[in-house]
């Protein structure tokens, strides 16, 4: 049994909050204990982060910080197998995914934002003055201060470092609240912070749940200067309310009900490969995943049949076996939620082309397994078609015209991502501009250049992170006006 401690001021400490069980989703077994932070622990973490701003960290030059960020990336890579095992034990996700996506991106995030801060520039303006001497304006980036980083469980290390890396690159200090489902990699990163010489108090971790616990204590803390959050839209609303006290900036990366649009001129094989990943990767627990598919009528049957075959082709099982391609859902609670939608689909008269229930998993009966599922036949207002499920499932609806496809895709309170599949160049540009989302992929999905703006429209979030956009959030721009 591993005990996950809080990491405060460079030291691992037990928290004064309740102790939570940590489950292995593959079997449902309790494999660890999480020591939650109480209010006093969160106070201590925020206090340590505040003090660190005034210590050696606050006096470091950008190149010195960059050198440390690169050491962090190297430090993760040096302990790759440990990070991998920790992520697998928390999530049940297969090695084939975590070794290609989660852990490499955890390290890459530090290198990318090291590059970004080194190459960033700011504006200068020369101006005329009545006495003819003139003045020069230039902007400098200053760190915001103490940043609260509140994270979900679906891509734990990737999504946490996606925020911690730019926050540190900009000279801030952080207090991280990982999901109570996935405490491991944030805790392990504390060891790497100490090993590479990040000054104490720069990176802190407090464990526990949200309301009435570490998440709320942290986001309502008056000495936090900015809050960055990834998670459900409803939680985002609570965090925004918390941020209103003291008028703190927030960056919110929230839920989605992403539409994929497949035109009849798309290359079927490429599309099935890409859309299969978009629907089922990480057991559908990807905010960018596709749970609504609109398919042009002429290819509807072929596409539906091909996607159902993809769903049936996943190999569920031991996540440490390199041949396994799909893991379970993250928790019993989350599986109950996803299954409630499987029940609604059946009750609503959906045609089930693949899956629809719980698979029999010999030897793993206690795990949170679910079948990848493909439905057709429901109306657009059915809960399965309109609400975020966050499971390995999708619903297919036929369309006839481009206008209809755009209208159907936009008919959602969410606006995170879309993928458009077509060989029509003009159509691709035209449709991408019309879909109300933060990210439009054409003939691909989850293809990431980390310099690009990332975020959601409508109920899918506020703000953009990535590249220079992250620097915008994690720094204050101060204008200096010099009379010459
Ligand atoms: P969640 O909102 O339940 O929890 C996220 C984090 O917030 C957890 O650490 C939780 O403990 C904390 N939290 C909960 N209530 C809180 C409160 N009142 N105050 C402070 N903290 C609180 O989300 P989840 O279930 O962990 O993750 C799945 C959701 O995240 C899905 O909706 C998914 O779409 C979304 N997501 C979005 C993105 C994106 O980039 N847009 C990325 C990943 C996941
Ligand atoms: O790739 C990223 O930077 C990112 N934030 C991905 C989010 C995935 C959501 O589940």
pLDDT in tens, the chain (484 residues): 899 999 999 999 999 999 999 999 999 999 999 999 999 999 999 999 999 999 999 999 999 999 999 999 999 999 999 999 999 999 999 999 999 999 999 999 999 999 999 999 999 999 999 999 999 999 999 999 999 999 999 999 999 999 999 999 999 999 999 999 999 999 999 999 999 999 999 999 999 999 999 999 999 999 999 999 999 999 999 999 999 999 999 999 999 999 999 999 999 999 999 999 999 999 999 999 999 999 999 999 999 999 999 999 999 999 999 999 999 999 999 999 999 999 999 999 999 999 999 999 999 999 999 999 999 999 999 999 999 999 999 999 999 999 999 999 999 999 999 999 999 999 999 999 999 999 999 999 999 999 999 999 999 999 999 999 999 999 999 999 999 9
The answer for residues whose C-beta is within 8 angstroms of residue 100's C-beta and 6 or more apart is none
Catalytic entry in 87, 180, 181, 253: 253
**Beta bridge pairs of residue 381:** none
d(CA 313, CA 39): 48
For a ligand 1 pocket test, name from 235, 248, 252, 412 the mutation site with the most ligand atoms within 8 angstroms of its C-beta.
235
Strand-strand pairing, 19-23 and 30-35: antiparallel
The C-alpha R_g of the chain, in whole angstroms, comes to 23
Strand pairing class (6-8; 11-13)? antiparallel
Report the nearest atom of ligand 1 relative to the CA of 180.
11
Task: Enter the tokens of residue 475.
Answer: 């720094």
- Which residue of 98, 101, 454, 456 sits with most ligand 2 atoms within 8 Å of its CB, as the best mutation to test the pocket? 454
Work out the number of other CB atoms within 10 angstroms of the CB of residue 426: 8
């Amino acid at each position: 049994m591993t005990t996950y401690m809080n990491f405060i001021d460079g030291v691992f400490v037990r928290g004064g909050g309740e102790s939570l069980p940590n489950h292995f989703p593959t079997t449902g077994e309790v494999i660890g204990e999480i020591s939650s932070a109480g209010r006093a622990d969160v106070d201590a973490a925020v206090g340590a982060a505040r003090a660190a701003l005034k210590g050696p960290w606050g006096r470091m030059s950008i190149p010195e910080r960059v050198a440390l960020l690169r050491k962090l990336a190297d430090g993760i890579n040096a302990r790759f197998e440990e990070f991998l095992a920790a992520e697998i034990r928390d999530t049940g996700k297969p090695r084939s995914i975590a070794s290609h996506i989660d852990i490499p991106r955890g390290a890459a995030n530090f290198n990318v934002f090291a590059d970004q801060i080194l190459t960033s520039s700011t504006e200068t303006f020369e101006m005329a003055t009545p006495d003819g001497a003139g003045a020069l304006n230039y902007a400098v980036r200053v760190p915001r201060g103490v940043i609260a980083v509140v994270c979900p469980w679906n891509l734990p290390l990737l999504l946490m470092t996606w925020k911690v890396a730019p926050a540190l690159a900009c000279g801030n200090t952080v207090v991280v609240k990982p999901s109570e489902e996935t405490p491991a990699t944030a805790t392990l990163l504390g060891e790497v912070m100490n090993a590479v010489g990040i000054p104490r108090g720069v990176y802190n971790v407090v464990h526990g749940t949200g309301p009435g616990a570490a998440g709320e204590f942290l986001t309502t803390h008056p000495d936090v200067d900015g809050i960055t959050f990834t998670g459900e839209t409803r939680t985002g609303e609570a965090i925004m309310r918390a941020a209103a006290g003291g008028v703190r900036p927030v960056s919110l990366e929230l839920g989605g009900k992403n539409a994929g649009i497949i035109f009849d001129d798309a290359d079927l094989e490429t599309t099935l490969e890409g859309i299969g990943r978009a629907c089922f990767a990480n057991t559908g627990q990807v905010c960018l995943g596709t749970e609504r598919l609109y398919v042009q009528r002429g290819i509807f049957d072929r596409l539906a049949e091909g996607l159902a075959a993809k769903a049936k082709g996943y190999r569920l099982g031991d996540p440490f076996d390199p041949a396994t391609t799909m893991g379970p859902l993250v928790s019993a609670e989350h599986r109950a939620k996803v299954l409630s939608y499987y029940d609604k689909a059946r009750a609503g008269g959906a045609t089930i082309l693949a899956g629809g229930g719980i698979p029999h998993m010999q030897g793993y009966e206690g795990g949170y397994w679910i079948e990848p599922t493909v439905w057709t036949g429901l109306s657009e207002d059915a809960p399965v078609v309109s609400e975020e499920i966050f499971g390995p499932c999708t619903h297919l609806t036929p369309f006839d015209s481009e206008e209809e496809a755009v209208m159907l895709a936009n008919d959602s309170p969410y606006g995170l991502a879309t993928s458009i599949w077509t060989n029509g160049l003009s159509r691709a540009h035209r449709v991408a501009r019309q879909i109300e989302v933060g990210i439009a992929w054409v003939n691909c999905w989850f293809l990431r250049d980390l310099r690009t703006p990332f975020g959601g429209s409508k109920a899918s979030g506020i703000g953009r992170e990535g590249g220079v956009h992250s620097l915008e959030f994690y720094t204050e721009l101060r204008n200096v006006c010099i009379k010459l």
